[in-house]
Amino acid sequence: MGCSVAAIISAAGSSQRMGGIKKEYCPLGSGITDNAQKPLTVLGAVVLAFVASKRIQTLVISVPPDAENGEFAARASLPQGLLECSSGPRIFFVPGGSTRRISVHHALSLLSVFPGEEPDFVLIHDGARPWVDTDLIEQTIDAVIQHKAVVPLLPVLETPKEIDEAGFICRHLPRARVGTAQTPQGFAYPAILKAHEQAAEQELLTHKEYTDDAEVWGEFIGPVAVIPGSPKNRKITFPEDLGLPGIG
């Protein structure tokens, strides 16, 4: 019997650096359409890449908890007919929280409400990375089955420096040992859910904020393997990344 795999798309952020424009619902580009000739959105492109994998049984999308940008808006941004397609993964929506970690935790918890149907593994992806390709998704699935925790990593091309609180360089980091993390990040499901529960407790005690799921796994579970990332798999952060006017 094969392993079951779920995916979480984290799209609950407020897009503050986009000037309040909800980037996941923006058109990916002029003239880029889905099969129904509807403008393809950032979130739509992400979902299509995961649906194309054929190895993912369940897809959970975290969305803002407010009415304006919540589940209704997320559904409207997806390609026509995708939610009704019986041959693809089950797609669910879950309201996010005040931080990315909390939003991912909500989505992980939703996967546990189907007794006996919890996945063996889960991929967690940024909803603002629309150029992820199915090859990277497949490679992440293969690697997480082998290693239990895996992250795509890009090499750093510039020489990195660590600075202290006063703004001075305190450490010269070896470039060959440093990389920038991408998503999807893959984990054994029961363990990453437990790690997020522990992270939630730690946040209450220390007010620490975790920047990605690999950090959560690394602190509470153990080592995280890496695979090569993709230069195409960029994250949209500013309006210019979508060809929109910048914020003044």
Domains delineated in the chain: 5-242 (3.90.550.10)
The DSSP call for residue 18 is G
Q: What is the pLDDT along the chain (248 residues), one digit of tens a residue?
A: 579 999 999 999 887 778 778 999 999 987 888 877 889 999 999 999 999 999 999 999 999 999 888 999 999 999 988 888 878 899 999 999 999 999 999 999 999 987 778 999 999 999 999 999 999 999 999 999 999 999 999 999 899 999 999 999 999 999 988 999 999 999 999 999 999 999 999 999 998 999 999 999 999 999 999 999 999 999 999 888 887 766 55
Cα 47 from Cα 76, distance rounded (Å): 13
At residue 247, the pLDDT reads 57
- Spacing of C-alpha 224 from chain mean position: 16
* DSSP reduced 3-state for 130: coil
Overall size of the chain counted in residues: 248
> Rounded CA gap, 74 and 61, in Å?
9
| Other Cβ atoms within 10 Å of 137 Cβ, number | 23
115 burial via Cβ count (<10 Å: 0-12, 13-18, 19+) = exposed
pLDDT of residue 204: 94
Local structure of 44: helix, strand or coil: helix
**pLDDT of amino acid 1:** 53
Do the bridges between strand 58-63 and strand 90-95 make them parallel or antiparallel, or are there none, so unpaired? Answer: parallel
Tell me what pLDDT residue 100 has. 95
Around 18, how many Cα atoms within 13 Å sit in the side-chain half-sphere? 19
